[in-house]
Structure 1
Amino acid sequence: MKFNAENHISVDGDKIIIEDIKTFETWRGYQLPKDFVEFTLKYPGASMSAEFDSEGRPGSMISNMLKFSKEGYSSIYVDEAYEIKDFGPYVLFGEDPGGNFIAFDYSNDELNPAVVFIDHEELGLIELSEGKTEDDYTEAELDRMMSSEKLTDFPWAIHYVAKSFNEFLDEVKFREISIESKTTGNISDKEMKEFKEQFSMELPSIFISFMKKYSNFIKNGYERKLMNKRVNLINVLSVNTQESDYILKVIESRGGVSKFPDLIPFMYINYNWNVYDFSLLCLYKKDGRWSIVIYLEEYWSKDTYEIIDNLIYLTDNLDEFFNLLIDELEKN
């Protein structure tokens, strides 16, 4: 392992024993690799801010390991996610801030599984064979492919990362965790100036101050209420161009500026405490006035008028909102 765990991860789960591991193995039907078991016993529910390259997906992320508890959020006992109910030889063990999974792949070796990244946005999509078009299939065949509940029917959503868990840890680029880095984005005035220049409108000063301090802040704060809405606070996006959650990269990855009409996303949340939802808190400008809205994940692929019609309005009192948000971020 090429990192100092004390400086790169925090332990968020309850202490577990080997019997907890064996109980899960019996339930799932696969034996977890020894290197992963040793890591998990020492760092249950580990949280981190880290990046790695997966096949076809450079700059993939991991924010936490799943917990060996049958109750609560981020449980390793996943029996359904994104309409997938049969995970076959893939055993989920970690997740990223966007709701994607990191998993063990036992399809080629039931004793020494590889590590893969599962992109949930590619589940439910159809990737046709070379030379084929939708016209080559009946409507029933297309419906069957799109509605499959088997993960193995979506091989294009599964991206190879490493041949073992230890090799995965060696390849991951961890950000150091410290009191300072948890409470400040360490963003320079020059970086903020460059960020503001990317937008054709003057950004609110309270928003600039917030992003300068909390850029890329990882929270994973669950079952909170914000402006009377039930939300899990996941992570603040970044104004640093080198980060995978750089605001403009997020906009581009979600369909480009046409999908963000007068919207500036700044934080991932789980709306209504749904851990499989990854919606966005956004600034929204209408008729020259700024407000805070929730941009629901289910509308990211819709037309502009549907996006605007389905924004969830929170408030136009930006000072009050960001003060409330900061209070929540600073809570233990």
Structure 2
Amino acid sequence: MDPTTLQTTWYALLGAVWVLYLVLGGTDLGVGMLVRRTDRAAALRAIGPTWAANDVWLVLAIAATLGAFPGWYAELLSGAYLPLVLLVGAVMVRHAAIELLGHATPAAVPRWERALVATSLVIPFLWGLIWAGALDGSLARGRDAGLGLLQPEGVLAGLALVALCRAQGVAFLRLRLPSARADLPLLPGAALAAALLLLAAAALTAGAAAGVQVGLLGALLVLVAGAGLGLLVLGAFVVRDDWALLGAAATTAGAVGVVLAALHHAPVAGRGPHAVRLAEAAAGDVTLTAMLVIAGVLLPPLLAALGYAYVRFLRAPDDAPTAGPGSLVARAVRGTMRELR
């Protein structure tokens, strides 16, 4: 039984929300990995106005999955129980670390820094593990409350997502805080991200569960991810941080899109007690229609508010122009950050 147009629409909306989280929130996670490599206060100020807002997309993705596809939500929780528990704990500790670092005693600061770095590494690794498990059938088998997800291709996918998030964080900080460029070389991390992503893609292609198909849309998204990866490496090689950031974001978006396109008919692919067909896991048409109306009302102001936060509050780079046409852009993005200093 194929998904209906309404079910596919909701699946596409969920895909867009996951892309927003892993691109925007992934950059914040990458910055969190780097707080012990550069000026911690400056790095946290750079994401200060937006990091909590970016995590809203994770909340929306989970809530929308529960409402639109309750069967998928139930089997996901059951099949990946331990990784999801670790994820919730890591998100809580990460939020606490960011909030408390500015108020901790000198003796406690290193502990909170280590906690921030560790959780920023754990979160993308576990998401990569879970999505890979949905592709290769290990999540469908549901062994050991999620420990069965620890397959080689899943570990590679988790490491690749960690490396991509870190590359985004490096490029973002180099672009926003040029004074940190000497502490944060971009090329080694970009090369590592490219190598891990290619290895993970090869492993997942070879180990994909029966019935997983990329399709035309997935093939187009493979091109997006490949172009983004090339731009990331090229930007790192020629020292263009803006190219590298755009390339890393496009790579993450394309890779997530490929996974979701491949899982369209079966978001938990394979054979086992936790395999899920999208059409069978969806809520009724009345619920999906009502949720679509609510999303149409709420999503535009949410996107507008997030866009305003990026334009209004993020600091301009240290070397932003102070005169000429470029100063108009610099003033537009500089914002008022005194309260975060």
Whose helix proportion is higher, 1 or 2? 2
The normalised TM-score by structure 2 is 0.25
Query: TM-score, length-normalised on structure 1?
Result: 0.25
